[in-house]
Chains A and B, each alone.
Chain A
Amino acid sequence: MSKVVIDALVERFKDPVQGDGVTGAYEGAGGDDCAFVKRERLVEVCRFLRDDAEMQFNMAPYITAVDYLGQEPRFEVVYNLLSTTRNWRIRLRVKVAEQDAVLPSVCGIWRGANWFERYCFDMYGIHFTDHPDHRRLYMYDEFVGHPLRKDYPLRGRQPLVTELEVPAEPFRGPGPAERGE
């Protein structure tokens, strides 16, 4: 479906000196083509996709992150892009290491990316440079850690107010423990 786009990207961002900007193109499930993009070239690639008369990727419907714990680099940020005029969709995947989890923001290209990037910061702890409103999205500011990381516990509770103690047997009524006591 969007093979043309990926081919054009790979061709355009070839760089024999510092390594290609766009690599590993493959056809994703359902026909949406995907490619890996180098972090340094991300903004350049996105700007080209939006502004080029052939491409016209005028929308970024969804940006999210994935935590591949145990792999190196650990995180991956996924940009799902859409061109409504051409009816093309592509998916750009950017790898980020844990020690250096910083990406350039694409808010300057699609304003709709704002909350998606805030979500990635809130849930995975990936920072975005030049973001206009770099705050947590869902969790409160006092929250420690990033809940969607694979090493954050499923029941890791961090209440803002002190929680009431739950009785050991929550289903038992207030009467004596055993009959005839």
Chain B
Amino acid sequence: MSTEVKEALKQPVAPRSSELDAPLQSKRMLVNLGPSHPAMHGTARAVVELEGENIASCKLDIGFLHRGFEKSCENVTWTQCFPYTDRLNYVSSIMNNVGFALAVEKLCKLEVPERAQYLRTITSEIHRICDHLTLVGALGLELGAMTVFLYAIEGRDLLWDRLTELCGARLTSNYARIGGVSRDAPEGWLEKTSATLDRVVLLRDEIDALLTRNRIFVDRTRKVGTVSRADALDLGFTGPCLRASGEPYDLRKAAPYLVYDRLDFDIPVGSNGDTFDRYLMRIEEMKQSDKMIRQCFRDMAPGELVVRDFRYVLPPKPEVYGTIEGVMAHFKLIMEGIQVPAGEAYGYTEAANGELGFYLVSDGSGRPYKLGLRAPGWPMLAALPVILQGALLSDLVPVFDSINMIGGEVEQ
């Protein structure tokens, strides 16, 4: 070793003035994604610590979309909560309406007329298809398959058009009521919806054909973001993500509500728990939902839409203007709200992304004392750092897509 080198080794290496001049990053690098980032649906923020291209650790920061859902609901009547629930998962709002209505009915011990149950099931399943189409479309889009996204959005909007004809709004449906549904299907709606479903089946099969055996798509999703069955349970996964990991738990079978016990359908179950399985689960569930809706169309009979109990449902207008009981019931319901019996209940339904739970506490007044929301995507988003440990940075986007976190419900 020359004296020159020996001298140099004694001195500490002077740091370079700019990181950009450094020939190779030796330190870990922090990358900030979001809160406004096209891949972060909604406004989640992820701070990712990278070691080369691999994720060493990931920290999530949420709450940018927090708008005080629970506090708002505690200060309005039970009926006025419905528009707030629309804004939870805005892609499948009727499922939130139905979930909340069922939870309140659990507390009131109210039995809903059969036609209303069928209509709730049909609209929920239509919205399940919409939700899954959105996820599949977005997953394709973010892996470079723009066509898939266009097909998916076409199918989704055709279905939303049908729901607009039913409840008057495209996104904020506000369809269910405590004790039933707000309106009946218009004339010819069932036939029209059947025709739309036929079109959606074609689009879904097209998407299936474009993605499921696509080399690029499969390479990007297989064995990426794998969650084992034990981990999925431990982390609180529900819905398609839990079933993708191999746990055959679906509330529609495990604790049937509405008319699900009368319908003939299967629960698709995955085996690997990776992003690809979570995607396949959505495709298969769309097929099952389609089957269920058609069975409902076949079995549905004309009948009442709401319970005829003036303690819970507004009386028809001729009675309000014609009878003293009618006008009193109307006045009480509008001014004081529904008098839900004091007590507490936890109502749970199978929404598109998993268990949608409402923990309700009533003190017997017209307003919820406590309304706790268990959003389906909540534990899945919380588990993202665990899933992504050691994965590539580029895998963050498809994994994030496949758990389908919806800002509106997770951040309340």
Contact = CB atoms under 8 A, between A and B. Distances in A.
Interface of A: 28-30, 32, 58-62, 64, 66-67, 78, 80, 84, 87, 89, 91, 110-116, 123, 136-140, 147-148, 154
Interface class of chain B by DSSP? mixed
B238 A30 contact: no
A76 B159 CA distance: 43
A64 B62 contact: no
Contact of A84 (B63, B233, B344, B361): B233
B235 interface: yes
B392 interface: no
Nearest to A113: B236
B372 A64 contact: yes
Interface string B231-249: 0011111100000000101
B237 to A, nearest CB: 8
B143 interface: no
Contact of B348 (A28, A61, A67, A111): A61
Nearest to B376: A61
B379 interface: yes
A136 B66 CA distance: 13
A114 B346 contact: no
Given A138-B412, A147-B71, A61 B63 contact: no
Contacts of B370: 66-67
A116 B234 CA distance: 14
A29 B355 contact: no
B374 interface: yes
Interface string B334-367: 0000000001111110000001010101000000
Contacts of B412: 138
B234 A58 contact: yes
A148 B370 CA distance: 9
Given A62-B357, A87-B254, A111-B234, 13 more contacts: A30-B106, A30-B346, A32-B346, A61-B355, A61-B374, A62-B374, A66-B370, A80-B359, A89-B255, A89-B346, A91-B346, A114-B382, A138-B411
Nearest to A147: B71
Contacts of A139: 63, 66
A111 B232 CA distance: 10
A148 B355 CA distance: 23
Contacts of A116: 378
B346 A154 contact: no
Contact of A110 (B71, B236, B254, B386): B236
Given A60-B236, A112-B383, A84 B66 contact: no
B346 A62 contact: yes
Nearest to B358: A62
Interface in B64-105: 66, 68, 70-71, 75
B107 interface: yes
A87 B251 CA distance: 10
Contacts of B71: 147-148, 154
Contacts of A112: 234-237, 379, 382-383
B223 interface: no
A115 B237 CA distance: 13
B317 interface: no
Interface in B366-395: 369-370, 372, 374, 378-379, 381-383, 386
Contacts of A140: 63
A32 B62 CA distance: 32
B109 interface: yes
Interface centre among A110, A112, A148, A154 (most CB of B within 10 A): A112
A66 B62 CA distance: 22
A111 B359 contact: no
Contact of B236 (A59, A123, A136, A154): A59
B345 A30 contact: yes
A137 B359 contact: no
Contacts of B255: 87, 89
B70 A84 contact: no
Nearest to B357: A62
A148 B373 CA distance: 13
A30 B359 contact: no
A175 to B, nearest CB: 34
A54 B337 CA distance: 44
A67 B237 CA distance: 27
B80 to A, nearest CB: 14
Q: Which 10 A-B pairs have the closest CB atoms?
A: A112-B236, A138-B63, A29-B345, A64-B372, A62-B374, A115-B382, A138-B66, A30-B106, A84-B249, A58-B233
B235 A111 contact: yes
B379 A154 contact: no
A116 B386 CA distance: 16
B411 to A, nearest CB: 6
Nearest to A1: B255
Interface string B246-265: 01010000110000000000
Nearest to A58: B233
Contacts of B109: 29
B318 to A, nearest CB: 34
Contacts of B357: 61-62, 80
Nearest to B236: A112
Contacts of A114: 382
Contacts of A147: 68, 71
B63 A137 contact: yes
Contact of B379 (A30, A58, A115): A115
